Amino acid sequence: MAAEYKTYDEAAKSIDDTLAKMGLDYLDMMIIHSPQPWVKVNQSDDRYVEGNRAAWRALEDAYKAGKLKAIGVSNFQAGDIESLIETARIKPMVNQILLHISNTPKELVEYCQKNDIVVEAYSPIAHGEILNQPQIKEMASRYGVTVPQLCVRYTLQLGAVSLPKTANPEHMKVNADVDFEISKEDMEALKDFRKIESYGASSAFPVYGGKL
């Protein structure tokens, strides 16, 4: 659901409009894209507590009506989830967050997992920006895999659902072939791998602005 919808009516309408546009009776899942409207991300400290509670009520009602099979959030910090849970009838089932080697928000992952909220890792290959890091390349070759495979496996071993994106069918096959085990020591090293400096041409997008 677009991050802009922060009233019950807007959110309920957006659910029905989406189903109508897609010609479907139900969707497998819908999530609130961000606690803050997109234009406010990185620009404001307002976490839109009441707006998110209102949008969440619309998601809960659609879930109860069978229009959505799962409901969740995205880019929510622990505090945002706590505020939501205070008035929620149903706990978020999923939190979809920026999670990849060099960006591992350990406390948030732990918080979600302790609260039975599935963590989904978006941009697990760092939007492509991790592909040329020499240390990561070296570790991948030690396991006899590619960097994207190491990246996907890393997020899976953190207990997350990994959401790699590719327009290339060969890459898709490779990204699904991750039946190997990263050692405990290497997992720890990857958790603390230094932040990549930039997401290239995509750096201007709010999701890569460092606050989500």
Ligand X SMILES: NC(=O)c1ccc[n+]([C@@H]2O[C@H](COP(=O)([O-])OP(=O)(O)OC[C@H]3O[C@@H](n4cnc5c(N)ncnc54)[C@H](OP(=O)(O)O)[C@@H]3O)[C@@H](O)[C@H]2O)c1
Residue type, 196: I
Residue from 27, 128, 156, 189 touching ligand X (CB under 6 A): that is: 128
Contact region with ligand X (CB under 6 A), list: 38-46, 57-65, 81-89, 160-168: 160-168
In angstroms, the CA 56 to CA 200 distance is 34
* Binding of ligand X by 75 (CB under 6 A): yes
Contact mark string toward ligand X, 6..45, x via CB under 6 A: ---------------------------x------------
Q: Is residue 211 close enough to count as binding ligand X by CB under 6 A?
A: no
Q: Which range touches ligand X (CB under 6 A), out of 18-26, 64-72, 164-172, 189-197?
A: 164-172
The reply on whether position 101 binds ligand X by CB under 6 A is no
Tell me which amino acid residue 21 is.
K
Query: Would you say 172 and 166 are in contact if contact means Cβ atoms under 8 Å apart?
Result: yes
> Considering just the CA atoms, what is the radius of gyration of the chain in Å?
18
Q: Which of 168, 179, 185, 194 binds ligand X (CB under 6 A)?
A: 168
Looking at beta carbons only, is 51 or 164 nearer to ligand X? 164
Transcribe 86-110 into DSSP letters.
HH-SS--SEEEEE-BTTB--HHHHH
Q: How many residues comprise the chain?
A: 212
Give the H or E element holding residue 33.
none
Shortest CB 114 distance to ligand X, Å:
21
Tokens found for residue 162? 């990994």
| 71-74 β-sheet, strand order | 30-32, 71-74, 94-98, 118-122, 161-163
Number of residues forming the site for ligand X (CB under 6 A): 22
Per CB under 6 A, the segment of 15-23, 50-58, 132-140, 165-173 that binds ligand X is 165-173
Q: Give the residues lining the site for ligand X (CB under 6 A).
A: 33, 74-75, 96, 122-128, 148, 163-168, 171, 174-175, 207
